[in-house]
Chain A
Amino acid sequence: DAGVIQSPRHEVTEMGQEVTLRCKPISGHDYLFWYRQTMMRGLELLIYFNNNVPIDDSGMPEDRFSAKMPNASFSTLKIQPSEPRDSAVYFCATRRGGAWAYNEQFFGPGTRLTVL
């Protein structure tokens, strides 16, 4: 298994531009999570999906952030317009559904976003 795949690995953009981050989950994993990691705030959950349906988006900081999961193999996190304070590493993580024992999440390599 290739694990969780994220793209791009690095993104540098200018303030005001639209940014789209992509994630391909591990096959068979029913849950998908988007996190943001910064030095100041650590690892924060933004939103998560179960079977492609958004369940909790209370961590999404503002309306500039949106996430979609059109199918079981793909999810996007979009920031429009981007601001310098959005600079962070964004991680996608997935886990299996079913029995509660399968709660461990598997993380992708992350996308390092820099907004100038």
Chain B
Amino acid sequence: EDQVTQSPEALRLQEGESSSLNCSYTVSGLRGLFWYRQDPGKGPEFLFTLYSAGEEKEKERLKATLTKKESFLHITAPKPEDSATYLCAVLNNAGNMLTFGGGTRLMVKP
């Protein structure tokens, strides 16, 4: 059974204080690892897909990296508008179903 664990559950940062969110996974053949952002009262919004170990993707202040066991979402010089819950999910080779982690709630204070 595929499993995804995200840490920490919650993270408080000061504006400009860089940090990283962790996503550890076990999956039977990784087809892709996905990062989503979810704002309160809204559906998850797609950020990145990573397909193989060593791959990196960037978007504004966010950078996602992937190893064979985990992924990191690095946030550089965050702003209050980066406050949200960040979800990680994996897709295995067997099918089309995503398995989501519990998320990391990020709060950035001005």
Contacts and interface: CB of A to CB of B under 8 A. Distances in A.
Interface string B3-45: 0000000000000000000000000000110101000011111
Interface residues of B, number: 21
A88 B45 CA distance: 19
B43 A107 contact: yes
B46 A105 contact: yes
B31 A42 contact: no
A56 B95 contact: yes
Contact of B31 (A33, A93, A103): A103
B32 A103 contact: yes
Given A42-B100, A48-B97, A91 B46 contact: no
Contacts of A104: 34, 46, 49
A43 B96 contact: no
B12 to A, nearest CB: 19
B53 to A, nearest CB: 17
Shortest beta-carbon contacts, A-B, top 10: A107-B43, A43-B100, A104-B46, A42-B102, A107-B44, A110-B43, A103-B32, A109-B43, A91-B43, A108-B43
Interface of A: 4, 31, 33, 42-45, 48, 50, 55-56, 91, 93, 95, 100, 103-110
Interface of B: 31-32, 34, 36, 41-46, 49, 87, 91, 95-98, 100-103
20 contacts: A42-B103, A43-B87, A45-B97, A45-B98, A48-B97, A50-B96, A55-B96, A91-B44, A93-B44, A100-B31, A104-B34, A104-B49, A105-B34, A105-B98, A106-B46, A107-B36, A107-B43, A107-B45, A110-B42, A110-B43
